């Protein structure tokens, strides 16, 4: 449920696996209102591995050495450097959310998904066999049944409410406004982040001679934060924060937001699951919201497809919440930390100065740790307790591979959307045992050893994370039969 980027990406993932998929969206068209414009490194890397960013990003060159870096910010402080291996796409993709939505909608429909626009969910009933929905559309009520329902329908999720899934929330403490307006030709307001002793103004020039303004007022929450602001209110807010009059006119759009946060206590109730803003919400600083939601969809899509089609056991869907809820909590926490640094309290000046020095470390030290946190490249999935390999739960970089079929790379091999068993070097020429129901699902590829990867075999999930790794090549004899541990696919240890 929900035709935003998260719901549409899920539809792409499910439909391409042959799962009948219907997207229910209350909006009749894709909104042209600017929302998120940033996709961070791990989201870009995961989506490229699934082929979903074709036409939006340049191709990556596997085997390239070094790193690619791009500038960003932390709490409005410049100097953060986000980096990624040179064999990956650039670590930050700047693309308007409506463009991503249209792109994913075309892909979803081409894969066979059905998009029902102008419909809203009014009823939800779960049984042992499936979920029965009632929706209200232009031609009246529509009822349908499905094996599973995913609520990707935003912060005020009807699915979450109807499913009875509770959420932990934190009330708003600040008031923020945004809008595209036309400023006076004599206005000297420069692009960038502007902090005063009353708050922040973020200024960006956009197409059509307009200026995009965002304000942050830390004096308290707006008493009616769901009401649409007026041009007069935005003008007064900008003028109050800057301490000077800033005339503006011709608003194209206006909106209001705050630091209200939400985290669903569970991402799953039986056959109903949550993703994106329906599961988590935070203050929109650092451009992490869209990336976090799309990573939910990348994590859930292949698991749900395999749950419907049959090879996966019940445990696979249970891994979704275990892996993605802690990631959402981490985003909520780091956006709270950034907001704390942004509050106009002179007592925080030494802390801001300290962070500014840390950011100057660039791609090393504390600056690198902050960049990895914001870009989600520090995400490590929970590993199976019986597995000793330090590689399990990590993300496999885009290694160049020399196979019997010729040269290739990790990104190319994962585009098929199947788990990938890589057998590397001499240790890869042994017998491999997979559970029978996974043999037609897992792609098995033999390749020469990869520099920097001291493993004889790796089981890579469709989202790019390593589900299982054999012991390091130097840790023993690998010439005998091997039973692949599918714990990372929710199966437990294979016999």
Angle value at C-alpha 344, between 79 and 195, nearest 5 degrees: 50
CATH of the domain at 437: 3.40.30.120
- Statement to judge: residues 55 and 135 lie in one domain: yes
- Domain end call among 304, 339, 374: 374
How distant is the alpha carbon of residue 269 from its chain centre?
22
The pLDDT score that the predictor gives to residue 491 is 61
pLDDT digits (tens, 9 = 90+) for 109-158: 999 999 999 999 999 999 988 999 999 999 899 898 999 999 999 999 99
The pTM of the full predicted model, rounded to 2 decimals, is 0.93
CATH of the domain at 218: 3.30.70.2450
- Statement to judge: residues 163 and 197 lie in one domain: no
- Statement to judge: residues 184 and 252 lie in one domain: yes
- Statement to judge: residues 150 and 111 lie in one domain: yes
Please, where are the H alpha helices in 209-360?
231-242, 289-309, 314-342, 349-359
Position with higher pLDDT, 462 vs 357: 462
CATH of the domain at 119: 3.50.50.60
User: Is position 360 within any domain?
Assistant: yes
Q: How confident is the model at residue 366 (pLDDT cuts 50, 70, 90)?
A: low
- Give the range of the structural domain holding residue 362, as residue numbers without chain letter: 5-169+261-374
CA distances 287 to 92, 359, 458, 471, 495, Å, are 10, 18, 32, 38, 44
pLDDT digits (tens, 9 = 90+) for 262-290: 999 999 999 999 999 999 999 999 889 99
The pLDDT score that the predictor gives to residue 483 is 61
What is the chain's length?
495
Contact call for residues 462 and 419 (beta carbons, < 8 A): yes
Average pLDDT, the chain: 89
- Statement to judge: residues 154 and 266 lie in one domain: yes
Residue 478 pLDDT exceeds 50: no
Q: Please tell me the least confidently modeled range out of 33-47, 279-293, 466-480.
A: 466-480
Give the pairing type, strands 406-409 and 268-269. Answer: unpaired
Look at residues 251, 387, 244, 299 and name the one whose alpha carbon lies nearest to residue 42.
299
Phi first, then psi, for residue 356 (nearest 5°) are -60, -40
Residue 475 pLDDT exceeds 50: no
- Statement to judge: residues 216 and 352 lie in one domain: no
- Statement to judge: residues 29 and 144 lie in one domain: yes
- Centre a 10 Å sphere on the Cβ of residue 474 and count the other Cβ atoms it contains: 6
User: Is position 369 within any domain?
Assistant: yes
User: Is position 68 within any domain?
Assistant: yes
User: Is position 393 within any domain?
Assistant: no
The whole-angstrom separation of Cα 21 and Cα 146 is: 9
Q: Is 380 helix (H, G, I), strand (E, B) or coil?
A: coil
Question: Hey, what are 324's tokens?
Answer: 């993605």
Residue 163 pLDDT exceeds 60: yes
pLDDT digits (tens, 9 = 90+) for 85-103: 989 999 999 998 999 999 9
Map tokens 């029978």 to a residue. 436
Look at residues 148, 133, 96 and name the one whose alpha carbon lies nearest to residue 300.
148
Q: Please tell me the least confidently modeled range out of 60-69, 94-103, 150-159, 184-193.
A: 60-69
- Statement to judge: residues 182 and 223 lie in one domain: yes
The whole-angstrom separation of Cα 192 and Cα 436 is: 58
- Statement to judge: residues 363 and 460 lie in one domain: no
The pLDDT score that the predictor gives to residue 485 is 65
- Statement to judge: residues 299 and 344 lie in one domain: yes
Looking at the 3D structure of the chain, how many domains does it have?
3
User: In the chain, what are the helix, strand and coil shares in percent, each to the nearest 5?
Assistant: 30, 30, 40
The whole-angstrom separation of Cα 222 and Cα 43 is: 33
The pLDDT score that the predictor gives to residue 427 is 58
pLDDT digits (tens, 9 = 90+) for 209-263: 899 999 999 999 998 878 899 999 999 999 999 999 999 999 999 999 999 999 9
Phi first, then psi, for residue 5 (nearest 5°) are -60, -40
- Domain end call among 317, 339, 374: 374
- Statement to judge: residues 252 and 269 lie in one domain: no
User: Is position 124 within any domain?
Assistant: yes
- Centre a 10 Å sphere on the Cβ of residue 11 and count the other Cβ atoms it contains: 30
User: Is position 223 within any domain?
Assistant: yes
Position with higher pLDDT, 64 vs 328: 328
- Statement to judge: residues 163 and 207 lie in one domain: no
Contact call for residues 479 and 442 (beta carbons, < 8 A): no
User: Is position 395 within any domain?
Assistant: no
- Domain end call among 257, 286, 305: 257
User: Is position 50 within any domain?
Assistant: yes
pLDDT digits (tens, 9 = 90+) for 378-435: 999 987 665 568 899 999 999 999 998 899 999 999 999 999 999 998 755 566 777 7
């Amino acid at each position: 449920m929900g035709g935003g980027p998260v719901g549409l990406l899920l539809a792409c993932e499910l439909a391409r696996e042959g799962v009948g998929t219907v997207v229910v969206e209350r909006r009749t068209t894709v909104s042209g209102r600017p929302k998120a414009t940033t996709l961070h490194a791990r989201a870009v890397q995961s989506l490229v591995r699934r082929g979903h960013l074709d036409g939006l990003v340049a191709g990556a060159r596997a085997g390239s050495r070094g790193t690619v870096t791009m500038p960003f910010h932390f709490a409005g402080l410049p100097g953060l450097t986000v980096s990624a291996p040179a064999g990956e796409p650039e670590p930050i993709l700047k693309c308007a959310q409506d463009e991503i939505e249209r792109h994913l909608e075309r892909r979803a429909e081409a894969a066979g998904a059905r998009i029902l626009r102008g419909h809203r969910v009014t009823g939800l009933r779960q049984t042992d066999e499936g979920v029965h929905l009632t929706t209200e559309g232009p031609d009246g009520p529509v009822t349908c049944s499905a094996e599973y329902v995913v609520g990707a329908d935003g912060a005020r999720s009807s699915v979450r409410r109807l499913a009875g899934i509770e959420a932990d929330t934190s009330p708003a403490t600040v008031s923020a406004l945004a809008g595209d307006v036309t400023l006076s030709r004599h206005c000297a307001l420069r692009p960038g982040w502007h902090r005063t002793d009353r708050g922040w103004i973020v200024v960006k020039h956009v197409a059509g001679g307009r200026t995009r303004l965002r304000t942050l007022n830390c004096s308290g929450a707006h008493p009616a934060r769901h009401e649409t602001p007026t041009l007069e209110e935005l003008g007064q807010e900008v003028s109050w924060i800057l301490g000077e009059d800033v005339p503006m006119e011709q608003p194209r759009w206006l909106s209001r937001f705050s630091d209200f946060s939400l985290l669903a206590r569970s991402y799953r109730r039986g056959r109903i699951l949550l993703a994106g803003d329906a599961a988590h919400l935070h203050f929109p600083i650092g451009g992490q919201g869209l990336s976090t939601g799309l990573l939910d969809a990348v994590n859930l899509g292949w698991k749900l497809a395999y749950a419907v089609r049959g090879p996966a056991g019940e445990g696979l869907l249970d891994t979704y919440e275990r892996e993605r809820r802690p990631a959402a909590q981490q985003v909520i926490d780091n956006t709270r930390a950034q907001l704390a640094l942004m509050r106009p309290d002179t007592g925080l000046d030494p802390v801001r100065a300290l962070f500014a020095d840390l950011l100057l470390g660039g791609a090393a030290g504390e600056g690198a740790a902050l960049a990895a946190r914001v870009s989600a490249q520090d995400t490590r999935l929970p590993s199976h307790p019986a597995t000793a390999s330090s590689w399990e739960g990590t993300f496999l970089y885009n290694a160049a591979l020399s196979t019997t079929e010729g040269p290739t790379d990790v990104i190319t091999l994962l585009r098929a959307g199947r788990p990938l068993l890589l057998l590397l070097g001499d240790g890869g020429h042994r017998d491999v045992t997979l559970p029978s129901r996974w043999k037609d699902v897992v792609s098995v590829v033999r390749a020469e050893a990869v520099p920097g990867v001291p493993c004889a075999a790796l089981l890579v999930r469709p989202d790019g994370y390593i589900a299982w790794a054999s012991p390091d090549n130097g840790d023993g004899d690998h010439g005998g039969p091997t039973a692949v541990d599918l714990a990372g696919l929710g199966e437990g240890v294979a016999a």
